[in-house]
Structure 1
Amino acid sequence: MAIFDLTLAELRRRTSMKWRRYGPDVLPAWVAEMDCRPAPAVRETLVAAIESGDTGYPEGSDYQAAYADFAATRWGWDFDPNDAVIVPDVMQGVAKVAELLTPPDTAVVVNNPVYNCFYGYLPWAKRRVLEVPLGADGRLDLDALAAAFAGPERPSAYLLCNPHNPTGTVHSPAELTRVAELAAEHGVAVISDEIHAPLVPADAGFVPYLSLPGTEDAVTVTSASKAWNLAGLKAAVAIGGTRAAAALRTLPNEVTGSASHLGILSHVAALEKARDWLDEAIDEIAANRALFSELLARDVPGAVYRPGAATYLAWVDARGLGLDRPVQQFRTRGRVALSDGAAFGSGGEGFVRVNLATSPEILTEVVARMGRAVAPA
C-alpha cells in the first residue's frame, strides 16, 4: 500500500494546523505535515497504550537507545545512549541547549535562508541571530562562516541545520569536518538540528555531525517526529559529544521530563519497527520530487526549482514571476497555501516552500493551482 494514498476528502476531516489554518477552498501545501496515516507499528503501539490506560508520565531511556540503534544501522554512527537526554521537542531542545552552552545575549550563527523557527526560538532563549548566508550554490559558505566566527560579534554558537531546511541540501563530510575545525578554532559551540535526517535516502550520504572527529563539544538535537509524521506526539532527544554530554545531564527535570509519554512510545515504535515504512515514504517522496519538477516547469514557467536530496519540502524561486509577494498571489488567486520564503530569513524573499508529502493527485492539483495563480487574467 502506498504511504501517500489519502484522498482530499479524508484529509479535510483533519483538525491539525495544516488543515485548519485556511478555508476549505484553499489547498494547503505549506507546513511540514505529511498526508499519510501512521505507520502500522506506531498505530498499534498507541492503541495498545490507550486501551491499557498507559497514559501517564514518561520514564526510562528507551528513546535514547532506540535512536542509537537506528543511527548505528542507518549511518554507522555509534554513540552511547547515556550521552543523550529527552527534550520536549527539537526546537525547545535547541533553545535549552543554547541556554546551557552559551552566555545570554550572545550571537548564534544560522545559514539563511533557514528553518523559520530558528528566528523565533533563539530570541526566546535570549540569544541573537547572526545570519551567514548560504553560498550561491545553496551550500555552506565556509569562508563566510570563518569570517563570522572570527568577526566582531564573536558568536558563541552555530545552529547547524543538517540536512538543510528549506533547500534540502545534504552537507558533505568535508564541509562538516571543516565546520568542526572552525568551531574548535574559535570556541564556537555547535548545535546540530538533525530532525530531517531519517528522510535522507541512503545514496545521498547523510553524515551525523557527531560522527565526525572534533565534535566532542557539540550537541545534536533530533527526533522521529518529522520522518514518521508524529509532530503532534511531542518528544525528541539531545545527544552530546563526549565532552558536552556531561553538561546535557545537568538539564533540569522541567526540560527532560516534559516530553509526552505517548510521544516517546510512538517514536520508539517508529525507530524500531517502522523502518520499512520509512523507506517506502522516502521512495514516494523521491517520485513526487521528480513529478513536481516536471509539473512546475510545465505549469509555472519562470519559477525555478533545484531539487535537494533531503526533506519532502521544495524550495522554489518565484522571483522570475514578477510578483511582489508570490505566496500571497498563490493563495488569493490560486487558492493554494504555501510557506512564505521571507519567513526563512534574508535571501528568502520571492521564494516559496512547497510540501511534497502528499499523493501525486493532490500534488498535481497544487501545481495546477499555482499555474492558475500566475496565468494572465
Structure 2
Amino acid sequence: MATEDERYRTSSQYRLWSFTPANLQELRTKTNSLAKQQIAPRLAADPPPDFLTADEELRLVRFYTMELIRAAQFCELPTEIRSTAAIFFRRFYATNSVMTYPPTELLKTSLFFGCKAEGFYIRLSKLAEKLSGTTAEQILAGEYLLCQGIRFAFDVRHPFRALEGAILELKRKYPDQEARISKAHARAREILKFSPLLTDAYFHYTPSQIMMAALRMVDTELVDMLVPGPPSNATDDAIGAHTNLREKILGVIESCRSMLEEERPERMAEYWDTPETTKAMRPLRKKLQKCRDPDRVDLVALQRARREQAVKKPKPAAPEEPDVFGGSRDVKRRKVGGTDDVFGPPL
C-alpha cells in the first residue's frame, strides 16, 4: 500500500506547484520582467512609468490575499473553500503579474471558483450581491484566465485532515492528556486557517509538514510524541539511521514553523486590520494604478472582445461529401410528370 507521502507526490500540487525558495523567487522575477516588457509599449509613456518590482508585487499579493480572506469570512464561506480560493489566487500570481491582471477582480473569481472546486454550491447572483459593487459578469470574466493561470490544477491538498489524524493518534496514545491535546488542536487549526495562506508554505512544504509546523508552534512536546526517537532495543546502526532521519524531519518542520511565524493569526487584527497598514500599502496601490496593462485592466471588456473575435472568425468550408457509389451526385430534384402533386402523378 502506498504511503501518504507517495500519494502526495503523484498529486498536481506536488508536480506543478512545489518549488524550492530559489526557484520560486526566480519564477516571480521572470514573471515581473515579462510583464514590464509587455506593458511598456502599450502605455506609450515617455518616460516609462516606475514599474513594480517583484518584491513589491509579492507584498501586494499578500495584501490582496488578506482581502480575499476577509471577503470569504463576510460571505460565510467554509474554511476549506476560503483556503482553496486563497491558494488559487497565490498560484495565479506566481506566473501572472498584478500589473497585467487586476487582483481586485481575480480575488472574487478565486472565491467563486474555490466553491466550485470544493463542490460547495452557492448561487452566483448571491455571491455577487454579497460582494458590494460586483456583478455576476465580473466574477465570471476572469474564470478561464484563472484556470489557465493555475494550469487547470484544481486539487488543493490542505493540512486540516492531517491535523485531525494527528490529534486522534495523540488522544489514542495519551488518553490522560486529552485536555492538553484538545487545546493544542483548536489553536493549531486557527493557525492553519491563516498563516499558510499568507506565506509561501504551500509552495515549499507538504500538508503534513505544514500541520506539524503549526502544532510545533503550539506545543513542541506533542510533535516529539508524534516523531519519537529510536526504540530502546535497536542496534547502534539502526539508532544512528533513525536519529538522522528524525533530525532531518524535525529540521524541515522547524523551517516551516519559522515561515508560519511570519504571519501568526493575531496579525490579522494587530497588523492587517490597522489604519497604519492601509496607509503603508497606499503608495504601492497608487504605483500599481500607473503601470497596469491598459488592454487587460477591464476583464469584462476583454472577455467580450475575445468572444466577438471568435464569432467573426471565418469557419472553414465543409468538404463535399463523396458519393459512396462513385461519381458525382445530382442534388437537383427532378420534376415528376409535370405535376405539383407531392406524391407524383396518378397511377
Mark yes or no: TM-score above 0.5.
no
TM-score by length of 2: 0.27
Q: Name the structure where strand makes up a greater proportion of residues.
A: 1
Larger-Rg structure: 2
Q: Name the structure where helix makes up a greater proportion of residues.
A: 2
TM-score by length of 1: 0.25
